Amino acid sequence: MKRQGIAVLAGVAAVIAGTVLPAGTAAADGLPLQAPCTEQKDVTGPQFAVNLCDVIDADQFRTNLANEGNVHCGPTSLYNAMYYLGEHKGLPMRVTPNGQLMTEYDPHDPADYDEATAWIGWLGFKAGMGPNPKSSTAKGNRLAFDAATVGAKESGWTVNRGEARTDDFPEFGLEIAKRLRQAPLQLWYGRYVLNADNTHTRTGGHAVTVVAAKGDVASGKVELALHDPARSDDHGTPGYKDTQSDIRDETVTLYKVNIRTKSVDEETGVVTTAQHTFWRLFGESYTGTTLQYVEAFNWFETAPPVG
- Residue 172 CA to its chain's centroid (Å): 15
CA distance linking residue 245 with residue 80, whole number of Å: 14
- CATH code, 81: 3.90.70
- How many other β-carbons are positioned within 10 Å of the β-carbon of residue 246? 9
Inform me whether the pLDDT recorded for 209 exceeds 80: yes
Q: What is the pLDDT of residue 1?
A: 58
Lowest mean pLDDT among 11-25, 43-57, 268-282, 289-303: 11-25
Lowest mean pLDDT among 7-11, 52-56, 92-96, 212-216: 7-11
Q: What is the pLDDT of residue 266?
A: 87
Q: How big is the chain by its Cα radius of gyration, in Å?
A: 19
Q: Is 142 within a domain? A: yes
Q: Is 209 within a domain? A: yes
pLDDT tens for 137-188 read: 999 999 999 999 999 999 999 999 999 999 999 999 999 999 999 999 999 9
Q: Is 252 within a domain? A: yes
- Residue 255 CA to its chain's centroid (Å): 17
- pLDDT grade for 304, boundaries at 50, 70 and 90: very high
Q: Is 1 within a domain? A: no
The share of the chain scoring above pLDDT 70, in percent, equals 89
**What is the total count of domains within the chain?**
1
Inform me whether the pLDDT recorded for 129 exceeds 60: yes
Q: Note whether 181 and 138 are within 8 A (CB).
A: no
pLDDT (mean) for 260-281: 96
Q: Is 27 within a domain? A: no
Q: What is the pLDDT of residue 31?
A: 45
Q: Under 8 Å CB-to-CB from 157, ≥6 apart: which residues?
A: 91, 92, 149, 302, 303, 304, 305
Q: Is 24 within a domain? A: no
Quote the domain boundaries for residue 87. Answer: 40-303
What's the mean pLDDT when you consider all of the chain? 90
- pLDDT grade for 220, boundaries at 50, 70 and 90: very high
Q: Which pTM value belongs to this model?
A: 0.89
- pLDDT grade for 240, boundaries at 50, 70 and 90: very high
Q: What is the pLDDT of residue 286?
A: 96
pLDDT tens for 25-64 read: 333 344 444 457 999 999 998 999 999 999 999 999 999 9
Q: Note whether 246 and 107 are within 8 A (CB).
A: no
Q: What is the pLDDT of residue 65?
A: 97
Phi-psi group of 83: left, alpha or beta (phi > 0 → left; psi -120 to 50 → alpha; rest → beta):
alpha
* Length of the chain in terms of residues written: 307
CA distance linking residue 226 with residue 57, whole number of Å: 9
Q: Note whether 102 and 124 are within 8 A (CB).
A: no
Q: Is 8 within a domain? A: no
Q: Is 47 within a domain? A: yes
pLDDT tens for 5-32 read: 433 222 322 222 233 333 333 333 444 4
